[in-house]
Structure 1
Amino acid sequence: MTNNFKRHRRLRSSAAMRSMVRENKLTTDDLIYPIFIVEGENVINEVPSMPGVFQISLDRVVDEMRELNALGVHAVIIFGVPNEKDEHGTGAFVNGGIVQKATRLIKKEVPELLVVADTCLCEYTSHGHCGVIHNDDVDNDESLTLLAKTAVSQAEAGADIIAPSNMMDGYVTVIRQALDEAGYTSIPIMAYAVKYASSFYGPFRDAADSTPQFGDRKTYQMDPANRQEALREAASDIEEGADFLIVKPAMSYLDIVRDVKNNFNAPIVAYNVSGEYAMVKAAALKGWIDEKELVFEKLTAMKRAGADLIITYFAKDIAKWLNE
């Protein structure tokens, strides 16, 4: 028999061989863990649509952060869930806001952790939208002023990275200018550059209590049918001073992750969103899938597509599996 074909299986012959030639590897350094901070004391509320994800009160935050740090997960993104809301989302930018309190506490007690502050208004507005409402729509430019105030207040509290998720036009320019004028020139912006109006966000809105009270977010978040628009959005954010580019969601938008990676010389962050998490957890609870294997496959696909970092609710699970 003439062996005139390639023997690709030679490099798959054992676990050690496969590991040695593996092109993409998932590590805890790749992960950013989202946390939901609520007011009150001794609160640990599991989110019904997100098994294993909890709303926690400030007095429980430090224990959670120490556990993460011990597991090797060294970055968190903070979402605040205040008791009181108003039309302008005042709780997002006041000095005593819940994200600001949590940031100060984490940086005092676990200073080695990187704190990423989600910079948006939707959790704090009575109407659930990401800005100021006029004529039943979000006023882009008026909202920018409040978002800039939010970013500066988060930086003052000690946030290491500002992550604006609002999708207002010009938000990176305005926030960068506000941070620089306040003396925070070294604080990077992790821009939600490509954020689609996705059905995968439902469980997050349960966790963050941020469901719009009317309409939807399709006038400011992107149409899932569009691909070229993602490049226009990312290009604007880079030109305006973004240091990281987030693509959200991740799993159903891996082509967009690769497009953004190919076109921009900046760290790319894939957001493995709540609906993607919830589907896996639901199937795992039914015994329909091997959760560990599926999660590693899914998140490795995000790295293969070009993600340098991944925001994921699986971060603690992955860290535990990697440490087995």
Structure 2
Amino acid sequence: MDFHRGRRLRSSLALREMVREHEIRPQDLIMPYFVVETDDESFMKEISSMPGQYQLSLRQLEKKVGEAVTLGLRSCILFGIPATKDETGSQAYADTGIVQQAIRLLKERWPQLIVVADTCLCEYTSHGHCGLVKNGEVLNDPTLNLLARAAVAQARAGADMVAPSDMMDGRVTAIRAALDEAGFVDTPIMSYAVKYASAFYGPFREAAESTPQFGDRKTYQMDPPNGREAMREAAADLAEGADILMVKPGLPYLDVIRQVRDAFDAPVAAYQVSGEYAMIKAAALNGWIDERAVVMESLVAFKRAGADLILTYFTEDVLKELK
């Protein structure tokens, strides 16, 4: 009787590795870091909902990144927590803002490290929203200038790439024009092109201290049941000048990652968000899963779905594994 003998290529590790279709490489991974504006150089506070992740002073950020570079870290993305917040999120676009300080520090120490700056206002506004607010409404067009100013400040500090995460309509156009006018024509934009109003962001809001003080972000982030809308958002950002398209969250939206990959000839990034990290960590700490195996399987799922780049809080652990 003739039938398919698929097991022939699974009988040993060497054979499985020979025919393996996808793999995780150091250059695929982007590590997020939360940097705090503080005079306490020893400040390093573990995020309670994200075991193993920390809010870091500039000095502690330098130490953590240094250790990760030794392991093979190629790129990171920075989120800032300023000492003071205001209605317009002015520290997002101040040359002395905490992320701008961190960019200068990291690029001076490791010029070869790709430093990406998250470009948004929510970590810097007193109300916690990603744009200017008037009478309880998040304003779209008046916010664009501030996002553009933030991107230019980040590029001026030395950022290799800016990553607008706000989901305001037209922000890629505004940022691209501002960067070009300021002489940063070679600074790429990794757009959070497909960013859903997800329940998986909870731990991040503790980490970045960016919980909205009223309402939610459903009027500007995407509705989770929608898939076709993702194609419109990605197409718009690409037409406006985005160089890399990001889908966020990751695992719950593998189908969307695949749709974006199939529809657009541009690099695709996936963000394994804080809630995904927290769930894996919680299950592992309870002894319910093999953390290492689940992490690697989840990252391979992103690659199989079509992601070129993966933003994940497991980056440092995976680099140890790969090394």
Deviations 1:193-229 (A, max 9, x none): 0000000000000000000000000000000000000
Which residue of 1 is the match for residue 111 of structure 2? 111
- 2:36 corresponds to which letter in structure 1? V
Give distance in 2, aligned partners of 1:7 and 1:282: 39
SS in 1 for 2:35: strand
Match of 1:266 in 2: 266
Distance 1:73 1:23 in 2: 23
Aligned to 2:52: 52
**Match of residue 171 from structure 2:** 171
Counterpart for residue 139 of structure 2: 139
How far, CA to CA, are the matches of 2:267 and 2:66 in structure 1? Answer: 26
Give 2:25's aligned residue.
Answer: 27
Give ranges in structure 1 of 5+ residues lacking alignment.
none
**C-alpha distance in structure 2 between counterparts of 1:228 and 1:109, whole Å:** 43
Of the three residues 11, 14, 26, the one matched with 1:13 is: 11
SS at the partner of 2:180? helix
Measure, in 2, the Cα distance between the counterparts of 1:108 and 1:26: 28
Q: Is the 8 A contact 1:62 1:110 kept in 2?
A: no
Between 1:43-52 and 1:134-143, the stretch displaced more is 134-143
Q: Which residue in 1 is equivalent to 2:220?
A: 220
Q: Which residue of structure 2 lines up, in the alignment, with residue 306 of structure 1?
A: 306
Which consecutive aligned stretches of 4+ in structure 1 deviate over 2 angstroms post-superposition? none
Q: Which amino acid aligns with 1:185?
A: V
How far apart, CA to CA, are the structure 2 residues paired with 1:281 and 1:7? 37
Shift, 1:61, TM fit: 2.0
Normalising by structure 2, we get a TM-score of: 0.99
SS at match of 1:116: strand
Please say if residues 89 and 126 of structure 1, whose CA atoms lie closer than 8 Å, have aligned partners that are also in contact.
Answer: yes
Amino acid of the structure 1 residue aligned with 2:277: Y
Which amino acid in 1 is paired with 2:310?
Answer: I
Instruction: Give 1:69 shift.
Output: 1.0
Q: What is the CA deviation profile of residues 245-302 of structure 1, one whole-angstrom value per residue up to 9, with x for unaligned ones? A: 0000001000000000000011100000000000000011000100000000011001
Within 1, Cα distance between the matches of 2:61 and 2:44?
10
SS at match of 1:310: strand
- The separation in 1 between residues aligned to 2:95 and 2:316, in whole angstroms, is 30
Which aligned pairs between 1:174-185 and structure 2 lie closer than 5 A?
174-185=174-185
1:68 aligns with 2:68: yes
* Aligned-partner SS, 1:45: strand
**Aligned-residue offset at 1:135:** 2.2
Q: Letter of the 2:236 partner, please give it.
A: S
Secondary structure at 2:225's aligned position in 1?
Answer: coil
Partner secondary structure for residue 154 of structure 1: helix
Deviation track 1:165-215 (CA, whole Å, cap 9, x = no partner) reads 000000000000000000000000000000000000000000000000000
Q: CA deviation at 1:64?
A: 1.5
Q: Distance in 2 between matches of 1:178 and 1:110?
A: 27
Cross-structure match for 1:153? 153
Q: Deviations 1:85-108 (Å, cap 9, x if unpaired)?
A: 000000100010000000000000
Q: Which residue of 2 aligns with 1:91?
A: 91
3-state DSSP class of the match of 1:217? coil
Q: Offset of 1:160 from its aligned partner?
A: 0.1
Q: Cα offset for 1:67?
A: 1.1
* C-alpha distance in 2 between matches for 1:197 and 1:222: 5
SS at match of 1:80: strand
2-structure distance, mates of 1:148, 1:118:
12
Q: TM-score, normalised by structure 1?
A: 0.98
What are the ranges of 5 or more consecutive residues in structure 2 without an aligned counterpart? none
Question: Secondary structure at 1:32's aligned position in 2?
Answer: strand
Give 1:7's aligned amino acid: R
Amino acid at match of 2:307: A
Distance 2:83 2:47 in 1: 17
Report the number of matched residues. 321
Between the aligned residues of both structures, percent identity stands at 61
> Is the 1:65–1:110 Cα contact (8 Å) retained in structure 2?
no
